[in-house]
Structure 1
Amino acid sequence: MDKNKKKFDVWHVITISLIALYALFLLYPLFCILKESIIANGKFTVEYFIEFFSKSYYFETLINSFVVSVCATVVTLIIGVPLAYFYNMYEIKGKSIIQIIIILCCMSAPFIGAYSWILLLGRSGLLTNLIKSLTGFTMPSIYGFKGILLVLSLQLYPLVFLYVSGALKNIDNSLLEASENMGCSGVRRFFKIIVPLCMPTILASTLLVFMRAFADFGTPLLIGEGYKTFPVEIYNQYFGEVGTNHNFAAAISVIAIIITAIIFLAQKWASNHYSFKMNSLHSVERKKAHGISNILMHIYVYFIVGIAFLPQIYVMYTSFLKTRGYIFVGGYSLDSYKRIAGDLWNAIGNTFLIGGIALIFIIVVAILIAYLVVRRRNLMNNIIDTLSMVPYIIPGSVVGIALVIAFNRPPLVLTGSAIIMIIALIIRRLPYTIRSSVAILQQIPMTVEEAAISLGCSKLQAFFKVTVPMMANGILSGAILSWVTIITELSTAIILYNRSTITLTLSIYVQVSRGSYGTAAAYATVLNLITILSLLIFMKLSKTKEIAF
């Protein structure tokens, strides 16, 4: 009888538990949002979908999101790919500081960039007034399409830089030497050798940039003015001050899910088409450029990085300016910091408490899913892998609304609590740590665990005591990306928060929306300092001077 009795398998229990959790906190909310889009007054209807496509105003928001996302993606590729090439192939002075600045550019909340550029190039902006007083020339308006494109491009090009930097590190230097011996060098080598070798990674970064641009909520809300985009319209339909239509908001959300899913599948097909493996026996060695090429290269790197980081420097600067009410006046003071002192610790506490709890769950769940996907491949674990990527392609505002619809009534009421914010952050930011954990686990041979098992460890002990420590760098890389995106999250948080769960990012947004730029700058400076500290801790723990995805 004992022989026929199946041995208890803890991993099978973990698989079922994860599927159940995804069913409850992801599939059920998405089903609720689908139901609300097609059921009105107890009857089936598609009138909200017809209304969206029949009225030019609503359809234009979709076109606007597409146009600005495609343009931002193209610009980030034009900026990011050459920047990664110069940085990894040649000696650039101050490269360590440059990389930290590049990372900070993409790690800050996107709408902070929009707010910063308004302070610089807005109607009464610093540079706008300076240029007009010196030359008499009136700068073109920063608001609308141009402003959104500027902010998103400078915000998201670091993602391309980091992804392509990772790919360049995997190129074998002997390939480049061989191409150079055959007369293929310089610009020709870049397009003929480097770009094709990096194509899978370039496509991956293209998807990430497009999704981030398409789902961005804060930037078009602050700087878009009349240029309405998809996420903003979803928010307005659900929480607008003029009037709300929850069924219509749900219909727009379903359209967003379908569109992003199509884009994701197209990118996945393209990635598979260009898929190949590279093993770098001899890593690329940086060379020192000479003459005019060296000068132009440094000018390009410093100019791009400087322009992208300028808004953050100016925000930090304005946080120390004297203010009278909402207006900046001459001189410097700590008035803005004094005004936020009462609420600052509450916002910091919520940021670390909510974000910290979410990050702990993210790390644990990511490790478990990585093991199931790599070591125990089967249908159920493939389903978990697929479900884990769904939030990666859904706009944050859609996730937030779906959770509100699903959990605002018995038997499980979570709306308005910190728990629903934690769940949203786990769902949204888990894919980053999963992907980096899977990537590192695939490089660790199974024989390591088998040796531990042969010495008396159980499969679970062998994984957690032997394999997980070997995965540390991969887990840490994903965790830092998850953490920084957690503390700068806006699109989901703005739908789910209340006064008792307000975070630093939400505090910045509230102050900007009130026109209190001094206190907003003070909050933003504190958030930037926390981001810098997080990156420094990561680099210290991982014992690396360079970061690449």
Structure 2
Amino acid sequence: MSTRARFRPEFWNVVTVLILVVLAVLLILPILRVLMLSFVDAKTEAFTLGNYVEVFTRNYYLNGFKNTLFVGALGTLGACLLGIPLAFFTARFHIAGRTWISTLAILVLVAPPFIGAYAWIMMLGSNGFITNFFERIGISTPTIYGAHGIILVFTLKFFPFVFLMTQTALNAVNKSFEDAAENLGCTPWQRFYKVTLPLVFPAISTGAIICFVLSIADFGTPAILGRGFRTLSTIALAAYRSELGGLPTMAVTVSIIMMAISMLALVAQRRILAKRRYASALTNLPVKSKLSGWRNVGVHLFCHGVVLIAMLPTLVVVYTSFLQTKGPVFTGGFGLESYRRIMLDAPGAIANSFLFSLAAVVLITAVSALISYVIVRRDTPASGAIDFLMMVPYLVPGVVMAIGFVTTFRNGPVGIFGAAGLLIMIYFIRRLPYGVRSTTSSLRQIKPSLEEAAVNLGAPPLKAFLKVTVPLIVPGLIVGSLMSFITAINELSSTLIIYDSGTITMPVKIYLAVLDGEFGLAAALSTVLLLCTGVCVYAVFRFADNRDSAFV
């Protein structure tokens, strides 16, 4: 054997190294850049702790910190108060239209939160149609602006996380535990509180953590509904804009605090779960019972009422998009004027949204297949590190990543990307976990012997991967790509920091239209965005339903 052949690096080792390099450059480097800048004095560029001292001593930042925790915690609590009962009712009782409820919940989940905020302004704003209706009959109602409005939007937007995760866990609970509690004389409430709830606590806490992290990272909702109620996300963006031309030290300091809150929440959840065992045998699964009388009516009203109220903003947006307008003013009747306007005023935004999102999804599809193989098939410290790093984009707010990208790749030491390149790269790295998790799930169902047989027959590792593995994981790749596309095309917070006049996207155009009072234009663009999202959700359902057959 020649020396060259003996020392030829193994294919998957090279792939692992390349993946680590990509994650180091696009994920770790921007975060480290943000962290380092938070310890820099903007004037002297010397090391300082003054930025953190200012954040924790100046009322402007302290109020933003408290406001963020306040709306994040109460929004999460609201999501749990809706999601847990909804999950329990649909998992334990025969509910007419159960599939309809789950479908609407998922549609609520994938719709952009800032669109919901805008729709609530149309209903409960200073000139909202619900506000005007009550004023005509002499009843004064509070407007949607402020903390209560933000909490309402977070509650109705994020409760599906708690609902879907808790419902899955409830369907897997061993019925013997609940039967034993009933035989010992526990009331239905005591049985639920003392037995069922602790058994599904891991699912509830995971859904709650996701709600909390997304709430504190959300920019669009507090920016649209805040009206002086500032959160860390809006403060970070305002600080970044005020520091243009210099080092954005205060913006990155606020961003690091946002990231720290997310990580501390995740650590707290892990520590709580580590103290107890929650596993049970997947036998004697629960059987749904039938309700009757007022209980049946009440449960059905609650279940359908929650998802319909949550869907109300979407319906309002679509309805508003077909109202006749003259400029920013609604003139009565129906028409397509708003859609004509977006064809004239926003074709670039629509094209950019598709271009950047699709480019990112192509990268995600290719890279997630390789990463998934490394995670599932390569039991090495490097594969474990990659699996861990796939959690990081979930925890890092879009504002943090965007500032990291700008200060690293445009204004920093590696100034190689323009706005378009930055947007594609940030969509890629932030949405990569969706592709990886979906593809990993598919790959775990495939026996390694299929690939090993191809290698034993003389196929190189890359050819075996492309000819054998990739065709088998196509359903997972498609589902992951669609989910990546849904979230990428709706991205607002990171886009607001990076975009310029030539790279404006639909979410940014909608946000600016709402701020300018152009509600017809915003509604039409929002409807286009919702339609794209809805088509992708339908495709996800179809491919997810067919995944089992793909492995036969």
| TM-score after normalising by structure 1 | 0.90
Code of the aligned partner of 1:31: L
Code of the aligned partner of 2:99: S
Secondary structure of 1:39's counterpart equals coil
Structure-to-structure mapping, 1:120-131, within 5 angstroms: 120-131=123-134
Q: 1:405 to 1:242 in 2, by over 3 A?
A: closer
Secondary structure of 1:140's counterpart equals coil
Separation in structure 2 between the aligned mates of residue 115 and residue 527 of structure 1, nearest angstrom: 14
Structure 1 residue 225: Cα displacement: 1.1
| Residues 242-272 of structure 1, C-alpha deviations (whole Å, 9 max, x = no match) | 9987221122222222332222222233344
| Percent of aligned pairs with the same amino acid | 36
* Aligned residue number for residue 349 of structure 1: 351
Q: 1:172 to 1:466 in 2, by over 3 A?
A: farther
Structure 1 residue 458: Cα displacement: 5.0
Q: 1:240 to 1:112 in 2, by over 3 A?
A: farther
Q: 1:228 to 1:309 in 2, by over 3 A?
A: same
| Residues 343-385 of structure 1, C-alpha deviations (whole Å, 9 max, x = no match) | 4443332222211121222233223222222321222222222
* Aligned residue number for residue 63 of structure 2: 60
Secondary structure of 1:44's counterpart equals coil
* Aligned residue number for residue 214 of structure 1: 216
CA contact (8 A) 1:145 1:227 kept: yes
* Aligned residue number for residue 512 of structure 1: 514
Code of the aligned partner of 2:265: I
Separation in structure 2 between the aligned mates of residue 492 and residue 113 of structure 1, nearest angstrom: 19
Match of 1:435 among 434, 437, 447: 437
CA contact (8 A) 2:131 2:143 kept: no
Matched, 1:85 2:92: no
| Residues 452-498 of structure 1, C-alpha deviations (whole Å, 9 max, x = no match) | 55565555555554455554555444443322211211011111112
* Aligned residue number for residue 360 of structure 1: 362
CA contact (8 A) 1:169 1:280 kept: no
Separation in structure 2 between the aligned mates of residue 294 and residue 86 of structure 1, nearest angstrom: 10
Secondary structure of 2:340's counterpart equals helix
Matched, 1:299 2:301: yes
Code of the aligned partner of 1:512: V
Separation in structure 2 between the aligned mates of residue 344 and residue 90 of structure 1, nearest angstrom: 48
CA contact (8 A) 2:406 2:412 kept: no
Q: 1:191 to 1:442 in 2, by over 3 A?
A: farther
| Residues 283-316 of structure 1, C-alpha deviations (whole Å, 9 max, x = no match) | 6554443332221111001111111111111111
Structure 1 residue 277: Cα displacement: 5.1
Code of the aligned partner of 1:25: L
Matched, 1:198 2:187: no
CA contact (8 A) 1:76 1:157 kept: yes
Q: 1:462 to 1:243 in 2, by over 3 A?
A: closer
Matched, 1:115 2:112: no
CA contact (8 A) 1:32 1:405 kept: yes
Code of the aligned partner of 1:125: G
CA contact (8 A) 1:32 1:402 kept: yes
Secondary structure of 2:331's counterpart equals strand
CA contact (8 A) 1:238 1:244 kept: no
Separation in structure 2 between the aligned mates of residue 468 and residue 91 of structure 1, nearest angstrom: 40
CA contact (8 A) 1:122 1:141 kept: yes
Secondary structure of 1:54's counterpart equals coil
* Aligned residue number for residue 258 of structure 1: 260
Separation in structure 2 between the aligned mates of residue 412 and residue 48 of structure 1, nearest angstrom: 25
Structure 1 residue 516: Cα displacement: 0.3
* Aligned residue number for residue 14 of structure 1: 15
Match of 1:248 among 247, 250, 257: 250
Bigger Cα displacement from structure 2, 431-440 vs 171-180: 171-180
Matched, 1:402 2:422: no
Matched, 1:105 2:108: yes
Bigger Cα displacement from structure 2, 94-103 vs 424-433: 94-103
Bigger Cα displacement from structure 2, 260-269 vs 179-188: 179-188
| Residues 4-28 of structure 1, C-alpha deviations (whole Å, 9 max, x = no match) | 9246311111111111112211222
CA contact (8 A) 2:325 2:338 kept: yes
Separation in structure 2 between the aligned mates of residue 91 and residue 544 of structure 1, nearest angstrom: 26
Separation in structure 2 between the aligned mates of residue 433 and residue 272 of structure 1, nearest angstrom: 28
CA contact (8 A) 1:347 1:503 kept: yes
Matched, 1:35 2:49: no
Q: 1:267 to 1:476 in 2, by over 3 A?
A: farther
Bigger Cα displacement from structure 2, 178-187 vs 439-448: 178-187
Match of 1:75 among 72, 75, 78: 78
Q: 1:192 to 1:471 in 2, by over 3 A?
A: farther
Separation in structure 2 between the aligned mates of residue 540 and residue 246 of structure 1, nearest angstrom: 45
* Aligned residue number for residue 48 of structure 2: 45
Code of the aligned partner of 1:163: M
| Residues 479-523 of structure 1, C-alpha deviations (whole Å, 9 max, x = no match) | 433222112110111111123222221221121121100110111
Bigger Cα displacement from structure 2, 161-170 vs 307-316: 161-170
CA contact (8 A) 2:11 2:461 kept: no
Structure 1 residue 183: Cα displacement: 6.9
Q: 1:267 to 1:370 in 2, by over 3 A?
A: farther
Bigger Cα displacement from structure 2, 499-508 vs 107-116: 499-508
Structure-to-structure mapping, 1:375-390, within 5 angstroms: 375-390=377-392
Structure 1 residue 437: Cα displacement: 3.4
Q: 1:275 to 1:210 in 2, by over 3 A?
A: farther
Bigger Cα displacement from structure 2, 469-478 vs 207-216: 469-478
Which consecutive residues of structure 2, in runs of 5 or more, have no partner in the other structure?
548-552
Secondary structure of 1:492's counterpart equals helix
* Aligned residue number for residue 335 of structure 2: 333
* Aligned residue number for residue 5 of structure 1: 6
Structure 1 residue 404: Cα displacement: 0.5
Bigger Cα displacement from structure 2, 110-119 vs 41-50: 41-50
Q: 1:249 to 1:287 in 2, by over 3 A?
A: same
Separation in structure 2 between the aligned mates of residue 222 and residue 173 of structure 1, nearest angstrom: 46
Secondary structure of 1:502's counterpart equals coil
Secondary structure of 2:38's counterpart equals helix
Q: 1:346 to 1:274 in 2, by over 3 A?
A: farther
* Aligned residue number for residue 314 of structure 1: 316
CA contact (8 A) 1:404 1:496 kept: yes
Q: How many residues align?
A: 544
Secondary structure of 1:209's counterpart equals helix
Structure 1 residue 173: Cα displacement: 6.1
Separation in structure 2 between the aligned mates of residue 75 and residue 526 of structure 1, nearest angstrom: 29
Code of the aligned partner of 2:344: G
Q: 1:124 to 1:100 in 2, by over 3 A?
A: same
CA contact (8 A) 1:84 1:164 kept: yes
Structure 1 residue 412: Cα displacement: 4.1
Q: 1:383 to 1:191 in 2, by over 3 A?
A: same
CA contact (8 A) 2:149 2:225 kept: yes
Structure-to-structure mapping, 1:234-245, within 5 angstroms: 234-240=236-242
Bigger Cα displacement from structure 2, 305-314 vs 465-474: 465-474
Q: 1:408 to 1:72 in 2, by over 3 A?
A: same
CA contact (8 A) 1:400 1:493 kept: yes
Bigger Cα displacement from structure 2, 97-106 vs 448-457: 448-457
Q: 1:279 to 1:464 in 2, by over 3 A?
A: farther
* Aligned residue number for residue 550 of structure 2: none
Matched, 1:533 2:535: yes
* Aligned residue number for residue 542 of structure 1: 544
| Residues 219-246 of structure 1, C-alpha deviations (whole Å, 9 max, x = no match) | 0011011211001000000114999872
Secondary structure of 2:332's counterpart equals strand
